Structure 1
Amino acid sequence: MDLIEDTPPGDNAHEFTVSELSGAVKRNIEDRFGRVRVRGEIGRVSRPSSGHVYFDLKDDRSVLAAVSWKGQAARLAQRPEEGMEVVATGRMTTFPGQSKYQLIVEQIEPAGMGALMAMLEKRRKALAAEGLFDQERKRPLPFLPRVIGVVTSPSGAVIRDILHRLRDRFPAHVLIWPVAVQGEACAPQVAAAIRGFNALPEGGAIPRPDLIIVARGGGSLEDLWGFNEEEVVRAAAASDIPLISAVGHETDTTLIDFASDRRAPTPTAAAELAVPVRADLAARLAEAGARMSRASGQRIDRPRQRLRDLARAMGRPAALTEGARQRFDLWGSRLEPALRGLVRARRQQLASRPMPAATLRQFTSAKRHGLERVATRLESSRERRMERRKDRLAQLQERLDSSLRRAVAVTRRAVETQSERLAGLGARLDKGGRRAIDQRREALMRLDRMRQTLGYEQTLKRGFAVVHGGGGVVTSAAVAGKLTHFEIEFADGRIGAGPGGTRPDSSSKGRAGPEQGSLF
């Protein structure tokens, strides 16, 4: 102020340097506002790697820049957050490098919710009361969408991040609806984009998306305010296509996040939610194929093993008669000696006790008849036992044959079913292989046509020429003037030439032609 007071009025006013004038303004502001308390709403908070905190204090008419240095920021009782209404204590100063004044904040005290946050909370409660945020309205995301619609700015880094992530995980057809992502035009354009995607007909010229992603990068509360507008929230809630909101960073929350079917913390995370990883699907498919092969083999091996087990449990048919045959042989071998012994004993008894001839004949006849009856009974009993054994063996053989037929029929049906499935999979594999080969062949033909189109031979056919000399291509008249001779290449061959208009006798085709004048 001394500089201003010491300067006399008139045309011979003192000339200040910029630094002198800035220093005078700085001293005046710091002397007048050495310590002040300012109430306002925090907006646009910035925390660079230096540790300082830069933010704005604003009301409905003005904005005041504020800064808290690294040491002061670490001692603040309240961490500054966007949208908070606070009372900041500090001192005013200027920043001559940008000709602006700012508040050096030493202490922050909360003073209530900011006006924007209060408005946002009131709108959120009103929309929630209508049921727009209910979980019952949320739709599941498609597992593998064929077409993905993206509502975002076409020139920002967001769309590049989404496309890059989709290309890495599982490439899909992407439709971009360009919109403004901040400002007054943001809300109506975003709402119109969501409604426009839903209005696309099935099977039309433009494919209808299976999934919509509404994306934007981080920003201040004011920058993201378009996604808090009521028309955007209602459009998202009314969308028949599942919708993912990816607005701002992980700490940013807008009303469209509550109305969407899924919220992603970042645009890159939205692409990860939209499609699975193709390599994981291929691994799962290979595992499923291996499991199917093992299951097919087990469907055949298990009945076969079961049939073997049943056959072992039933035993050999011959083993069922071996014991009876052995007992029959044993008793048969004993029968003849017993009969002989009985006859000898009876004969001795008769010899020791003489009997009348008539009585002896009767006794002998009776014994003979008895022996015949015993033999007949033994023979009949043996035949009956043999018949019963044969019937039993026939029944067992019939049961075994029936079990074998059933097992063979089940196994044959299983093999036929698996064969049909394997044939179908083989046909699909052949078709997919042929389709892949056709696609590669078409791509190769396109590249070859592009090579031929971009090659310089096509340019030569349109009437241009290339001048060769000095071991390379001549591109200027100065270089050509220094050469003793050079060659000019046309579409159908080369001819020799010289800077003076002379033409050497030798040419690329070995033909002598009329003299050619100087090209220069």
Structure 2
Amino acid sequence: MNDLLDDGFDAPGPGNNAPEYTVSEISGAVKKTLEGAFGRIRVRGEVGRVFKARSGHLYFDIKDDRSVLASVSWKGQLSALAVIPEEGMEVVASGRLTTFGSQSKYQLNVDQVEPAGAGALMAMLEKRKKQLEAEGLFDAARKRPLPFLPEVVGVVTSPSGAVIRDILHRLRDRFPRKVLVWPVAVQGRDCAPQVAAAIEGFNRLSPGGAVPRPDVLIVARGGGSIEDLWGFNEEIVARAAAASQIPLISAVGHETDTTLIDFVSDRRAPTPTAAAEIAVPVRLDLLAQVEGQGARMAAAVARGMARRRERLRDLGRALPRSDALLASARQRFDHAAIRLPAALRSGVQARRPRFAHSAALLRPQLLTGRLVRIGEQLAARHARLGPALGRPVERARARFERSARIVSPLPVRRDIAREKRRLVSLSDRFVVAAQAQEDRRRRKLDSIDRILQSLNYEETLKRGFAVVRGDGQVLTTRAAAEAASALEIQFQDGRLKIGGGGRGARGKPRSPEQGSLF
């Protein structure tokens, strides 16, 4: 640019011989001068208009009370930004000052954005919080209850910090459970995408798969400044926690620290250790509670039985005695027993005239005549039976002869041959099936016999053991053997009889010459 001025670009007066430049040459000279004079700079100001093009580039303004600086972050630079510029934020933007020659503009190519202070961060946090709250992500109705006793606990945190050790130690003390740890960065530009990916990854696990799906999630981090905890204020983390199908406990920072994930989570814990205490109950307390409930149940059953027993005794006292209940029936039975012989005699006397009248009518001649008539009827029917049976037989024979003349004998022989082959096949199959069934039963019988032989006490005798009997009974103690009058010891190859037990057959002490069995 200085060269242009030195060459008389602005030299006054008509008829000068100043050189001519193209627009592109002027634009390139301005770009070279601007970039050479400033290089990489940091600009502080308030973010104005923000526009993201379809190409993925982000265009925004940085302004103060008097001027506006156009800024741009290319698509490849956005992923490296710790904070995405939003309208109204006060930021410190770092980058290179350059020009946009096609429109005679200069702009700042931003590759790093930092909040200008805690006030700006809190303002942005409050704005984001109101937006998510308006969408209903903070509603208590959408929060899921935590499982009473989870089988698997998923933890999203740094694997090298004290947080994971505190959580594991507290879970081991209260109620040991399976723990899956998803390692993430808990601060910096990688924090938010890694935490969101961990929550989504746990939710993608299939129940009953090779890697078990957690029943509850704990997102944990130790305390720190608002900048250290800012990754948990990112919208991507809040939306991932809200979309989680697994109940989620947030334990980010200390009790006084508050992040957006605390509002969308199903339960907030003041510390990571408290999150572990919320996730599982105390095993000893559960055992004590079960024992207490069992004692109360036993006492309640005992009291119920006592009340029912007392009630039964009261009802039993209200009932009459068994003698009183049976006295009337016993008296009626005695009266009936007394009247029975006389009633039998009177009944016989009353029926004797009718019997005599009936006996007078039953004469031998009447019976003989009736038998003769019945015989004549049987003879007549027997004479008619032969012709009656012959006529159906003749009709059936005639029908059969007509059928035999109509039906050719060849199909009949084929049917007979086919049925004969079928009969032979069935007979062969029956023989094979019977043989197979017999083999199965023989194998089963052999197996049972082997089991029986293994359980037989005589097999045990072959291994050096013996059976001691005294007076016909199997003895298992020394006292029983000493009390027996005679002993018999069964070995593998036979039995050995000994005269008596500890005191002999007549109760006398055994002499030293007789020896001892024990």
TM-score normalized with structure 2 length: 0.40
Tell me which structure has the larger Cα radius of gyration: 2
